[in-house]
Amino acid sequence: MIRRLAIIGVGLIGGSLALALRRAGYCGEVIGCGRGVANLDEAVRLGIIDRYETDPAQAVQGADFVVLAVPLGAMQDTFAVIRDVLAADAVVTDVGSAKGSVVAAARAACGEVPPWFVPGHPIAGTERSGATAAFAELFQGRRVILTPTATTADDARRRVRAAWEVAGAVVEEMPVEHHDEVLAATSHLPHMLAFTLVESLSRMSDSDEIFRYAAGGFRDFTRIASSDPVMWRDIALANRDALLTVTQRYRRDLDELMDAIARGDGQALLRLFQDAKAARDRFCH
């Protein structure tokens, strides 16, 4: 049971976690924090939080469970602000998509990765953002990856795992570096492709006509290009090495596709498409 939950960044992820825990009766008071007062007012109106502060140091006062749902570029400053005012029994977790940068931010702000910090990443979301995007069912049956470090306290890890499981998630653990390699391929690269495709088409002279006749496949593939640009800028920079590695591999494969088309090699194209369909069908089932 969480006595007082502090959500630093009341958007889709932080807000949905608060709603899920409240619905399960797993937390008492919920304090929100952020820079946008209008968003925080909306979070109060929607019942996501009970009250809010705009200063993280004030928001975490007396909280025994703190969730950092701020952009990756703001993590270090947030750690620096809250480290000396946390309650003695507080645990802190985050929802950042690139764990190496978050661990580095915690170490830079605190001198070492604190025992009360459990790095985490829910593999769930939509292209929407802000408090109005939050809903309690977001994590049902979805994976949450925890990447505890050598200094993470066992009790802190158990408490964070328990909260995510109460929210309906399937919790797994893996090393920080492996997480960032996997997510570069399965999440970060697809977002880069969607953003780049939409931006590329928008610069074509007949872009209005192209978008007017875009069918469902285009909408499905590019849905994630409606995601928060600031967040994805931070992710691209924070996970730069792993993202560059997987992007270079994809570029080589794209070159092979272009070569097959240029040669008129229907057999090569068919093998590629069949292999891709079989792989995706296995994943979906």
Contact of 116 with 91, CB cutoff 8 Å: yes
pLDDT confidence of residue 128: 85
Q: Which residue matches tokens 């993470």? A: 152
- Please, what's the b/e burial string for 187-212 (b: 16 or more CB within 10 A of its CB; e: otherwise)? bbbebbbbbeebeeeeeeeeeeeeee
Contact of 199 with 207, CB cutoff 8 Å: no
Between 125 and 194, where is the model more confident?
A: 194
Q: How far is CA 59 from CA 31, 63, 142, 148, 150, in A?
A: 6, 8, 28, 24, 28
Contact of 31 with 14, CB cutoff 8 Å: no
- Please, what's the b/e burial string for 100-124 (b: 16 or more CB within 10 A of its CB; e: otherwise)? bbbbbbbbebbeebbbbbbbbbbbb
Helix segments in the chain, DSSP class H: 12-23, 37-45, 56-59, 75-82, 99-110, 154-166, 176-183, 189-202, 207-212, 216-222, 229-238, 240-263, 266-284
Give the chain's domains with CATH numbers: 2-174 (3.40.50.720), 178-284 (1.10.3660.10)
pLDDT confidence of residue 171: 98
Contact of 57 with 81, CB cutoff 8 Å: yes
Give pLDDT tens digits for 35-45.
999 999 999 99
Mean pLDDT of 87-96: 97
Give pLDDT tens digits for 9-23.
999 999 999 999 999
